[in-house]
Every structure is written in C-alpha cells, then in structure tokens.
Structure 1
Amino acid sequence: MSTPGEDPRNTPPEPEPRASDILGQALGSAARRAGLDPSAERSTGHVVWHAMGGWRGVAESVLPGLVFVVAYTLTIDRDTGEANLPLSLGLSVGLALVFTLLRLLQRTPPSAALGGLIATAAAAALALLTGRGEDNFVPGFITNAAYGTALLVSALIGWSLIGLAAGYLMGEGTAWRRDRRKRRVFFWLALAWAALFYARLAVQLPLYFAGDVATLGTLKLVMGLPLFAPLIAVTWLAARALYIRKPQ
C-alpha cells in the first residue's frame, strides 16, 4: 500500500510467492489440521491418535478394506476358485458411503470419509471393469508410488517435504535449510517415509501379479495404520526435538 502523496507507480511490486512457499504452506496447514504441531503440549500417543482420526478415522480407513477381504474370501467357490467380486466390492463401497453419510448428517467435516469413498469407489469401478479382484488395489499402488517418489526426490535435492511442512508449521519458512542439523533430520525422515511407501509396493506387487487377492488385501491392512502410526510418532518426536528447547 502506498503512503499519502506517494506515486503508486514507484512502489515496488510485492514478490511473487515461490513454489516452495506455496507447497510448504499447504503441507504445514495439512499437518496442523492433523494435529502435528510440535509446539503443542501433547503426549505422543495423543498426537498419533489425532493424526489417525481417532476411532472414527481408524474405522473409515480400515473397515471398507477389511469387509472386502472377508467377503471375497468367504464367497470363493471351491470348485472354480472364483469369488463373488460384485458383492465384495458393493459391501466395501456401501460401508464407505455409510461413513460419509454419517458425517454429513452429524455435520462433521466429511473430507476424510469423502476421500475414502471416492478412492474406494474408483478402485471398485476398475476391478468391476476388468473383472479382476486384484485390480481393486491398483489405485493404492499408484498412490504409494507417487508419494514415495515425491518424498525420495525431495530428500535427494535438499528440499525435504517433511522439512517444508515443519518449517511453515513452526513459522520459519525455508530457513531450516540453513541449519545442518535440521537438514539432516528432515532428509532422513523423508527417506523413512519414502521407504514405507516403497516397502508396500515391494511386498504387495508380487501378490498382485500372482492374483492372490485375499493375501494382498490382508497385507495392505497390515502395512497401513500399523506402520503409519509409529512413523508418525517418530516424525513428531524428531520435529519436536528440533524446535522445542527445554528451559535450562
């Protein structure tokens, strides 16, 4: 804004936000909504539980996939080896729809359940289109590959996505890149998250190509929240150690 008597034409334009600023702000905001604020005086267990969405978040994340695996396994014909794919997918999508409707009726933020519904419906549509139960997991493979690659590349080029999120969450922007200790910690955290996503692919893709739907679905559940939760805890504790200093 120009002062009285100042020619607006001589006022230098405000600098355009950099891509790192925009991405960092988005990641930091997402982390804050998930309860991952290192400055908050909360226990590690509370933070992890909040990040998973509590009982409702766990149910919305786990139950549609669990219902699919159970229904698929129980409907396998002993003679043909074929399962009732439409029924299994219908139950999974139907449950995801119920979770979304409950959030809408209770006027709670439906974003998590809605995202799960869209992902579940898209995966089911692909599986129904091909007639192959294992194709229900293809969108998950794509997501894991994308997240893992983004985190790996960000670490290797010195712009860790974990660092960007923490930097804007703590109000220092990209200043963490001038601190060797922070750069090193955020580098390894990004690699750890990338390793999680790639580990899922390494374990699950062979089962996909083998057409072992029941085992694939079971391992997807096992490698979901049970691995996500401890890595969230490690990430939060590491970020908290970097930014929160105890009084002498």
Structure 2
Amino acid sequence: MSTPDDPQRPAPQPTAAEPTAAEPAAAQPTVAQLAEGYAAKAGLHRTSNGNIDVLKSAGGVQGIAESILPGLVFLIAFTITRELPPALVGALAVAAVFTVVRLVQRKPLTQALAGIAGVGLSAWLANSTGKAEDFYVLGFFTNLGYILAMSISIAVRWPFAGLLFGFIRNEGLEWRKHPARLKAYRIGTWVIISVLALRLLVQVPLYLMGEQGLAGLATTRLIMGAPLYILGMWVAWLLTRPAPAPADPS
C-alpha cells in the first residue's frame, strides 16, 4: 500500500530486486484481494432493489449473442451443406466479427477473445477428427473443470458462491466466520455445480450418438449455455440471501 511522499525530501527509490517493507501487500496479494478481484471481474450486477440484473450479468444482448451465434451458425451451415469446412468457417467468422465490434466499441476484449479462442479450438478439433459433433466436445472438459474446482472449493471451506457473492453483498470474507452463512454458500455452490452436471447428463449421450445426435446436441448446447447458467446463478443468489435483521423493538 503506497504512502504519501515526504514533502521535505524525495522518497528513496527501491530496486526491483529489493521491495520495500511498506509494499508487501502489493507484491503478495492476499486471498481476500484475489477473491475481491475475481468478484469484480465475474460480470454480476445488481439491480436497485438488490437482486441480480440477469440480462446485464449475462453481458447484455451482445454478450448473449456472442455465446450463442457461433454455435448456431455452425449448426445451420452444417445442416444445409453437410460439409465441415463452410460450417467451421462460418462459426469462426461470427466470432471474429464480435471481436472487431468490441474493438470498435472500445469495450473489454476478455469475453470476445475467450470466445474466439474457444471457437477456434473447437473448430480445430472437429476438423482434425472429421466429426461435426467434436465441435462441441471442448465444452464437456470445461464443465468438468468447473465442477472439479467448485467441488474442491466446498471441501476446503471456500465455496465458490461465497467468493463470488460475498463481495457483491459487501460481506467480504466475514461470512466464513459464521456457520450459517458458510452453509448457505455451500448450498449455493452445489446449485451451480448441479447446473453444470445437468449439461453433461443431457449432452454427453447425444454426443455419443454421433452425427445422428448432432442437432439435439447443438440445440441443448444453446439452451443450456448462458441462459441456464445465469438462471442457476440467480437461484444460488436467492438461496444464499442473508437472513433479515430482527426488527428493533423500540
């Protein structure tokens, strides 16, 4: 944490190899700082009445379109042509357009770049195997990774929902000191895990059907993508609400 300069003399300049004792927190972020930073970047927003703004949290209309349209274009193009190259090119082109739009709008590129990277890797997998259904296989591993990480967060008593919602509610990390709040955030995390697990239960069997299950796989991927995830986050938010403060008898 920086301090004001001494007006009587210039402050000594530390070297890169010798950080000053006054700045250990800046060099070594604490768990609270990391959690707060993640919460700030998670994209959740509250309405004036304290609830989650579902549309804004999903990135608005543009954010939802970025998550849905590449896969939709891939499905439509492959259904019409029955050829992988035009379907893959179409999906990549849509992702690239969204990236350019964000550049023009001077908006943060994180979501758009992550989107085009994901579409690019999915296209590479499908092109390498020659199987259209492999365009969607990356999502299975992503879901498994999130399920594993969130399950570990519950086991070590740092549930994901608490790290995300705690700072949005101005609780910081104080909720960890209260068993009832810790339990609530564990339940909220299980809700989010359930949403991710439901995706796998529905989509993996469709993937194993091969091209016959492609239309169903693509459709459920669209329905169970951002819309279902945001719904799960909203339910978790409601289930983890703090109990109302008791009324003052006076």
> TM-score under structure 2 normalisation?
0.80
- Correspondence list, 1:143-182, <5 A: 143-182=142-181
- Correspondence list, 1:20-99, <5 A: 20-31=31-42, 34-37=43-46, 41-42=48-49, 44=51, 47-75=53-81, 83-99=82-98
Compared CA separation, residues 176 and 18, structure 1 to 2 (3 A): farther
Compared CA separation, residues 21 and 180, structure 1 to 2 (3 A): same
Deviation of 1:227 after TM superposition, in Å, equals 1.2
Q: Distance in 1 between matches of 2:95 and 2:101?
A: 10
Compared CA separation, residues 234 and 17, structure 1 to 2 (3 A): farther
Q: Distance in 2 between matches of 1:36 and 1:133?
A: 36
Aligned residues of 1:160 and 1:187 also touching (Cα < 8 A): yes
Q: CA RMSD in A?
A: 2.8
Bigger RCO (CA 8 Å, 6+ sep): 1
Matched, 1:142 2:141: yes
CA-to-aligned-CA distance 1:141-183 (integer Å, 9 cap, x gap): 1110001111122123321011122334445443211112211
Q: Distance in 2 between matches of 1:246 and 1:104?
A: 50
Compared CA separation, residues 17 and 170, structure 1 to 2 (3 A): farther
* Residue of structure 2 in register with 1:213 after alignment: 214
Deviation of 1:242 after TM superposition, in Å, equals 1.6
Deviation of 1:189 after TM superposition, in Å, equals 0.8
CA-to-aligned-CA distance 1:116-137 (integer Å, 9 cap, x gap): 1111111101111111111111
Aligned residues of 1:126 and 1:135 also touching (Cα < 8 A): yes
Give unpaired runs (5+ residues) of structure 2.
7-20
Aligned residues of 2:188 and 2:237 also touching (Cα < 8 A): no
**Number of residue pairs the alignment of both structures matches:** 228
Deviation of 1:203 after TM superposition, in Å, equals 1.3
CA-to-aligned-CA distance 1:7-66 (integer Å, 9 cap, x gap): xxxx899578576335413322223xx1435xx624647x11101111111111111111
* Residue of structure 1 in register with 2:18 after alignment: none
Give unpaired runs (5+ residues) of structure 1.
5-10, 76-82
Q: Distance in 2 between matches of 1:108 and 1:246?
A: 43
- Paired AA for residue 36 in structure 1: H
Q: Distance in 2 between matches of 1:144 and 1:203?
A: 13
Aligned residues of 1:155 and 1:161 also touching (Cα < 8 A): yes
Aligned residues of 1:36 and 1:236 also touching (Cα < 8 A): no
CA-to-aligned-CA distance 1:90-121 (integer Å, 9 cap, x gap): 10110111111111122222221221111111
Return 169-178 or 116-125, whichever deviates more.
169-178
Deviation of 1:216 after TM superposition, in Å, equals 1.0
Q: Distance in 2 between matches of 1:154 and 1:88?
A: 39
> TM-score under structure 1 normalisation?
0.80
* Residue of structure 1 in register with 2:103 after alignment: 104
Q: Distance in 1 between matches of 2:171 and 2:24?
A: 19
